Amino acid sequence: MSELVVRTSMGSLTAWNELAPAFTRLTGHKVIVAQEDATTLDNVLASNAQSDLISLYGEPLDRIVKGGNTLGGSSTIFTRAAVGLSVKSGAPWPDISTPDAFKRALLNAKSIAYSFGGSGQIARRAIEKLGIVAEMEPKTVRSVGGPAAGYIARGEVEMAIQQINVSKPVAGTDYVGDLPGDLHEYVVFEVAVLAASKEQDAARELIKFVTSPAAAPLLHKALMEPAS
């Protein structure tokens, strides 16, 4: 049996926490899931540390693929996550049922947080579509090193925008709902086999599993969904 190491960002970690043990039960292959941020990921890829697969969204993965760190043609879309608004537990839930209602909620908020990652890009685009960039800039915190909703739990901001699977598990916060109407987008994640992997056959087997119908209920449990 093989041992695989999956390097993943925070964005798809909940998915791998469900998928990895299920794949081990099915095949006997051991899967180690390692969460990495952008800095540590670059360092890991430049080192000789065991790494077999990488799980990221869009631009960061494209950069790694173009750098020749993955097997050609192995990059595969496998899951996506909705993006929405969170508030402090016990606080009144703002109306975000329409783009106009969401706009009012943001303008009335004293402070918000969103990340530099995929969900943060979606949050920024939503604010641009609403035409309130100038109004929101002074009261916006860009989260680093953990969930944006963590800033709510620590009393640092009033609201946060991030993926449901990253936001909802944060104690002391409530996930109000997804961004409404044409403001909503999904963060889409891909997985690829790393060129340095010594277990490429098993790695491809894992990709086949995470894109199979059997993975769907596991992704839903992780508050994500199959990309298809």
Structural domains present in the chain: 3-80+188-226 (3.40.190.10), 83-183 (3.40.190.10)
112-117 mean pLDDT: 95
pLDDT of residue 87: 98
48-55 mean pLDDT: 89
pLDDT of residue 41: 77
Q: At residue 60, does pLDDT exceed 80?
A: yes
Digit-coded pLDDT (tens) for 15-32: 999 999 999 999 999 999
64-73, 134-143, 160-169: range with lowest mean pLDDT? 64-73
pLDDT of residue 37: 81
pLDDT of residue 38: 67
Strand 76-81 with 187-193, pairing: antiparallel
Burial class (CB within 10 angstroms; exposed 0-12, middle 13-18, buried 19+) of 77: middle
Q: How far apart are the first and last CA of the chain?
A: 30
Lookup result for tokens 């998915």 = 15
